[in-house]
Amino acid sequence: MDFQYLWEGLKEYYTETYLSPDLSGITSFDTTDVQRFLPTMIVGICMGIFLAVCFSYYHGQYLGKVVRRLYKLDAFSPECAKPLSEIGCDSLLIRSALRRETVLSKYVKTAGDVRSKDARFYILEEQKYIADKRFKEVRGGILTLPLAFIICTTACLILLYFVPDVLQLADNLYNMLKPE
């Protein structure tokens, strides 16, 4: 079996079916730009939603681990601050996020020099509940990402298939209601 031929056939089918909307029946407005831009816009929105889910997962699971462990150890003042090595979160990415102005550094403060290996960290007492809610653990764990990918891909294909029909329906409605 020639996989190159099969791949080319699938690519041609999806390009004709999903990425080349037939807007020839729309008469009320010029569709040349819409026909070019519509598939790109739909794919871009779906990719943006998936990337937002990925960033949310990263913040909740990876960076949120610091907040949850400090919260569990009642580190709410400089006197109760804990080093990252003690809470099991001593990594280059977490240290980098705590050095810069990030969402994590807004809630997790340092007692001492942040560049030091033995720097101690704590959560401000007045922000502990907000930090706990903002960095809560993502339900579903790592399965959230493939599920989000499947949902975004399915939604993208459905939108690519049905949006031209919705535009045609809107054009028909406009033509019916248009004063003569």
CA 106 to chain centre: 21
CA-CA distance, 120 to 61, in Å (whole number)? 21
- In-domain check, residue 161: no
Span 131-173, pLDDT tens digits: 888 888 778 788 889 999 999 999 998 998 888 888 888 888 8
The band of 1, judged by pLDDT with boundaries at 50, 70 and 90, is low
- In-domain check, residue 10: no
- In-domain check, residue 157: no
Residue 120: enclosing H or E segment and its boundaries?
A: strand 120-123
- In-domain check, residue 102: yes
Query: Model-level pTM?
Result: 0.72
- In-domain check, residue 57: yes
- CA end-to-end span of the chain: 59
CA-CA distance, 77 to 83, in Å (whole number)? 13
CATH number assigned to the domain comprising residue 79: 1.10.10
| Residue 44: pLDDT over 90 | yes
Q: Among candidates 157, 167, 156, 158, which has minimal Cα distance to 23?
A: 167
Q: How many residues does the chain have?
A: 180
Span 60-118, pLDDT tens digits: 888 888 888 888 888 888 888 888 888 888 888 888 888 888 888 888 888 877 777 78
- In-domain check, residue 84: yes
